[in-house]
Structure 1
Amino acid sequence: MTIMSDKVGKYNIKAVSNMLGIHAGTLRAWERRYDLVKPVRNEAGHRLYTDEHLKVLKWIIDQVNRGFTVGQAVELLDREEVLRSPEIGSEPLNQIESMKTNIQTALLNFDETTATDHLDHAFNMFSTERVVISILGDILAEVGDLWEKGKILTAHEHYVTAYIRTRIGMVFQSLPVNGLLPKVICVCAPDETHEIGLLVFTFYLRRRGYDTIYLGGGIPGEDVIKIIEETRASFTVISVTMKDHISSGLSLLDQIHESFTDVKAGVGGAAIDHINPDLKKKYNHSIIGHHDDNWLDWMKT
């Protein structure tokens, strides 16, 4: 099923990510798991993708947007037919990227009406999961980064966060629960108030039927321990967005592991990239990846 090409690779992984609306981490995972494409490497060891690679990846993404799983799409793939199809455009932004930009721009201008029009259109065009993760989730990450760098005001960040929290919450409440799947507690690290990334992760789990208990931010560590005991949850997910809260997040992780032998706890969020190498090695099995392709892998470990 691997697509080989003798053509020269000309797109780096960031360009492919932007053109196709797929996280770089997701792309790397697909390469490992499905042996889908084999990008060439330049002298620096960086991946370079050909037009043929992009055709195959775009076809897979189109099938996923229609409701197939990645595995099903790979099984359906007829590479000869795909490669005979007309050339795909090499525009830097695809529809999802364009919609994301339009929504983000409107929100940063406090224009809720325009943002809602674009978001409703996105929900009509793509799956709910793709909109929540690839559009709303990415907007939150980018707006948070802009705020940390002082490029937008706190008011901007709060406004965007409140809007997206409301929209995800509207979707979240309608999702059913599979009673046969484990119960999962989702909570921010003590003192952590940035909870939207956790909400996106919780949505991802609930979408797959997990019985999720969303606690959000501002919950003391001792309360989390009591709630795990009271609910008999099998998993606890701790979100850490700000670097200052890494220590308290890892401390809560340790408390859970010390208090329960049958509860799996993990930590994720933007701040995880800032853990020093020694700590990252120590907590390797408890670190949840940034992207949706990593999340269920961690749950199944």
Structure 2
Amino acid sequence: MPTRSGRATFNLRAVVQDTGVKADTLRAWERRYGLPCPQRTPGGHRLFSQRDIDTVHWLKARLMEGMTIGRAAELWHSFEAEGQDPLIALPAVSAGEPQAFPILHGQALEHAREVWLEACLRFQEEQAEAAIAHALAQYPAEVVAVEVLSRGLAEIGDRWYRAEASIHQEHFTSALAMRRLEALMAGLPQPSLPGTLLVGAAPDDLHGFAPLLLAYLLRRRGRRAVYLGVDIPLDRFEQTLQQIQPDLVILTAQRLPAAANLAPFGQLLAGCS
């Protein structure tokens, strides 16, 4: 199970907005039960990781089930003592329980996507980053990654195809989305589940967001996903397989010519099985 909380990037206000738990309550939980476990800046301010936020959601779910906060914290620590990750052993949202963020395609997310896209189309990097930060303060990171970043890239790709956006605007938007997704991935805790997955894009395929998003979502769920990037060559790929020893290989292609380049990889993998 993970013993580290990942890179701390969220301040107290962001956690309050994300979880709905008041700042005083978060401080009390930390002081009394050691949950969550934020880091401190040199100035003494709290900085939370994505795992810290997930921990707060987990505690809230236990309270909704009728537990006291003391019992919920005790349960968390008992899972850890047994070598289990509480977030996996007992998910925050149980079957039949209402989702904390039920609107995944609602007007709020559509508005966030529109604001982000408009800033990107104007090459306004600070405004685009602010739009994503605001969305992350209201929704889980994976929801923002899919509903704002991924769908936003698809939309600007359509605009480029219709000659409503330039290639420079498309590249600028893609670069911002990739950078933000890489930052989100860097803040994740260490993998907690066994097995390794290898993810990348086919030869001659330079579209890196889709495989990177897949690797991020897998890591969010405790999987070890090794991301190789784009335009992966067949040369020495067998040596890479021997070194990584993946349980599953996932190679993406967004164009038919690139997809055709995957045939030799399939033959190689078939020979390795």
Tell me which interval the TM-score lies in, with the shorter structure as reference length.
Answer: 0.5 to 0.7
Deviations 1:97-136 (A, max 9, x none): 1101110111011111211121111010011111111111
Shift of 1:218: 2.1
> Does 1:260 pair with 2:266?
no
Partners of 1:172 and 1:71 in 2: CA distance: 21
Task: Work out which of the residue numbers 102, 114, 120 in structure 1 matches 2:133.
Answer: 120
Counterpart-to-counterpart distance in 2, 1:250 and 1:140: 28
Please name the residue that 1:235 is paired with. 248
Instruction: Tell me what 1:274 maps to.
Output: none
**Which residue matches 1:82?**
none
For 1:138, the aligned partner's letter is R
Aligned residues: 181
Give the conservation status (yes or no) of the 8 Å contact 2:197–2:246: yes
Query: For residues 186 and 106 of structure 2, what CA distance do their matches in structure 1 show?
Result: 32
Q: Structure 2: 5+ residue runs without aligned partners? A: 1-56, 62-89, 99-104
| Counterpart residue number, 2:183 | 170
The 3 A distance-change label for structure 1 pair 165 and 180 is same
For the Cα contact (< 8 Å) 2:119–2:127, is it kept in 1?
A: yes
Alignment match, 1:133: 146
Cα drift, residue 74 of structure 1: 4.5
Q: Write the distance in 1 (CA, Å) between the matches of 2:209 and 2:127.
A: 22
- Deviation for aligned residue 1:177: 2.6
Q: Map Cα deviations across residues 127-180 of structure 1 (whole Å, 9 max, x no partner).
A: 111111111111122222333444322111110111111111111112123354
Counterpart Cα distance in 2 of 1:196 and 1:178: 21
Q: Please give the per-residue CA displacement for 1:38-67, whole angstroms capped at 9, x wherever unaligned.
A: xxxxxxxxxxxxxxxxxxxxxxxxxxxx67
Larger relative contact order, structure 1 or 2 (CA cutoff 8 Å, min sep 6): 2
Corresponding residue for residue 188 of structure 1: 201
TM-score by length of 1: 0.55
CA contact (8 A) 2:199 2:226 kept: yes
Q: State TM-score, norm by structure 2.
A: 0.60
Partners of 1:140 and 1:197 within 8 A in 2: no
Quick check: 1:218 aligned with 2:231?
Answer: yes
Instruction: Answer yes or no: is 1:198 the counterpart of 2:200.
Output: no
Q: Distance in 1 between matches of 2:121 and 2:266?
A: 35
Note the C-alpha offset of 1:230.
1.3
Alignment root-mean-square deviation, CA? 2.4
User: How far off is 1:73 after superposition?
Assistant: 5.5
Aligned to 2:117: 104
Amino acid at match of 1:76: E
Superposition pairs for residues 73-84 of structure 1, below 5 Å?
74-76=95-97
Gaps of 5+ in 1: 1-65, 78-91, 262-301
Instruction: Give the share of equivalent positions with the same residue, in percent.
Output: 22
Q: Which amino acid aligns with 1:163?
A: L
* CA deviation string 1:67-103 (max 9, x = no partner): 77999454236xxxxxxxxxxxxxx951011101110
| Secondary structure class of the residue paired with 2:200 | strand
Say yes or no: does 1:147 pair with 2:160.
yes
Alpha-carbon distance in 1 for matches of 2:121, 2:261: 31
Contact 2:200 2:212 in 1 (8 A): no
Matches within 5 A, 1:241-256: 241-256=254-269
